[in-house]
Amino acid sequence: MKPNFPHRFRNEGLYEQALTHRSAARLNNERLEFLGDSLVNMLVAEMLYETHPRADEGVLTRLRAQLVRGSTLAEIARELDLGDALVLGSGELKSGGFRRDSILADALEALIAATYLDAGWQACRDVVRTLYASRIATLGVSEKDPKTRLQEFLQANGLPLPQYELVASTGEDHAKLFDVECVVADPALRLPGHGTSRRAAEQMAAEAALNEIKGILRA
């Protein structure tokens, strides 16, 4: 059964490759997934830039991370019934690979890349905008930034406050990139963040740490 994907492919070979997991064939969707990951990040960033004109870089980075993470991509893939169309090796079939978030997310990104190769930039842009329209429209922007929310969450649970360590800064002065880590003592975690400013990188790391800690405490 074909998924409800919003693009009709002229090149059926690209379509089939996008849905083929590496466990099933040498010609699989890994390279397409690599390209699709960048396309999704760029096009979701464009949508957020348009729809949140007052949001700063830190907020936009956090929102994009929320929208392009594997669990969100897998949710979209399920809405499209992508799992039923995947081509998997026997081992992945037996272990339920068609339900796994990582496999579904990779296949969706591969289909987006295949759309770009099949019909060009505008077709790819239209597909991503269609897939994300409802999520962008209902996306709430928290007044508190991730560092503040992480601090308040840790305090409320009697846990020590985080530290932020600069790991690296690269590039020319006008185009620097910063890598930081949010270090939490309990539970013991080191979560990375990246950004074009140290503040933006710290906010991304704090968001990742908050999500990780909430998941640990729920388990």
Question: How crowded is the C-beta side of 102, counted as CA atoms within 13 Å?
Answer: 6
- Per-residue pLDDT band at 1 (split at 50, 70, 90): low
Cis peptide upstream of residue 192 (ω within 30 degrees of 0): no
Which residue positions form the known binding site?
Answer: 33, 106, 109
In CATH, the number for domain 12-137 is 1.10.1520.10
Domain 146-218, CATH among 3.20.20.80, 3.40.640.10, 3.30.160.20, 2.60.40.10? 3.30.160.20
Task: Give me the mean pLDDT over the 187-203 stretch.
Answer: 90
Residue 95 pLDDT: 80
Which residue positions form the known binding site for Mg(2+)?
Answer: 33, 106, 109
Better-scored residue on pLDDT, 200 or 109? 109
Task: Give me the mean pLDDT over the 26-54 stretch.
Answer: 95
Task: Give me the mean pLDDT over the 172-182 stretch.
Answer: 86
Report, as residue numbers or ranges, the catalytic residues. Answer: 37, 109
**Statement: residue 141 has pLDDT above 70:** no
- The reported pTM is 0.66
Task: Give me the mean pLDDT over the 117-134 stretch.
Answer: 96
> What is the percent of the chain where pLDDT is above 90?
63
What whole-number distance in Å separates Cα of residue 164 and Cα of residue 209? Answer: 11
Q: Are 63 and 141 in contact, with CB atoms under 8 Å apart?
A: yes
User: What length is written for the chain?
Assistant: 219
Domains of the chain by residue range: 12-137, 146-218
